[in-house]
Amino acid sequence: MFNYKNLKKILFLFQPETAHHLAELGLRALPNCRMLTNYMVNKNFVNDERLTQEIFNVKFINPIGLAAGFDKNSTMVKAMPALGFGYTEIGTMTPRPQDGNAKPRMFRYPKANSVQNAMGFNNEGAHAVLKNLKKVYPFVLPIGVNIGKNKTTPEEYALNDYKMLIKKFEQTSDYLVINISSPNTPNLRDLQNEEFITALFNMAKELTNKPILLKIAPDMQVDTAIQLCKTAVNAGAAGIIATNTTIDYNLLPGCQNFGGLSGEVLREKSYELFKEIAKELFGKTLLISVGGISNAQEAYRRLKAGATLVQAYSGMIFEGPSMVRKINEGILELMEKDGYSHISEVIGADLK
């Protein structure tokens, strides 16, 4: 019904954050137009039993999820099937509303199919987000909730922020994600240490039986990342999401000297760290891979490396609303080529 290449030309005339707001307006309105929604669901949503998995006692119809950062305030959940996603992750939200960092704070690099953001957990706060979430949960797709501390919360009180958020969202989510890996909240990554992670997940076990995952940064040494992930799993984490954005600005000459890079420039860095983590933890916990995934070949590579699920975000800016369908259809084609009858045979195939 429209050519995304033409729409992208229009959207790219605007500043990235303005374009994001325009996309949000469209996706919020989409469910009100049943004819268009049905058309897009029929066109983009791949429902094939070969891709279906039962995870956390919830059905994931396909393995491609929307990464956190796009739908910060849970306003676009109803549009996710129209984009083809098998699940969605909202947030990151904080206990109190916050505006985030100074603008401009989002930059796109079309030649590199990459994005840089320094948003800083801008969101309407837990109370407002929960109000939005209650309007849609439970949903036809699994919903993850990504949580982080407020910028003004001192490190010594960070546990209190996560405690409040876990208690607030555990009844309106299918899983929760602890975000201590964003580069855009000062000193947040300092919480990526064994003492804090152990205390965090020990506390979480006392609060809820809801699955809680840890999302890590791609900029740690491999040994450090593996040890932190092991610590989290031993303390009760239900899984690991690898990775968040990177502050390795050497990956993209000419980029800003602040904020996190995502998209294609992150692809190999994210894959290499994920692969090493999977060598240690595959079969012991759930692994989700994110970072530079925008086509079937890359998604398939992450699945074979040990990912049960994958996530995408930046790629959609450049590929458009057909991206997830192409990924899922491509995965099915690659499975047929390799003689696999179900996605469970693909997951961790490189490690078996």
Q: Verify cis geometry, omega within 30 degrees of 0, for the bond prior to 104.
A: yes
Which residues are designated catalytic?
182
- Domain boundaries along the sequence of the chain: 4-351
> Are the C-beta atoms of residues 280 and 229 closer than 8 Å to each other?
yes
How much is the pTM?
0.97
Question: β-strand 286-290 against 309-312: which pairing, if any?
Answer: parallel
What class has domain 4-351?
alpha beta
Tokens of 201: 């997940």
Q: Alpha-carbon distance 22 to 16, whole Å? A: 10
pLDDT tens per residue, the chain (352 residues)? 468 999 999 999 999 999 999 999 999 999 999 999 999 999 999 999 999 999 999 999 999 999 999 999 999 999 999 999 999 999 999 999 999 999 999 999 999 999 999 999 999 999 999 999 999 999 999 999 999 999 999 999 999 999 999 999 999 999 999 999 999 998 999 999 999 999 999 999 999 999 999 999 999 999 999 999 999 999 999 999 999 999 999 999 999 999 999 999 999 999 999 999 999 999 999 999 999 999 999 999 999 999 999 999 999 999 999 999 999 999 999 999 999 999 999 999 999 8
Q: State the Cα–Cα distance between residues 139 and 155, nearest whole angstrom.
A: 35
Distance in angstroms (rounded) separating the CA atoms of residues 341 and 23: 37
The three-class DSSP label of residue 116 is strand
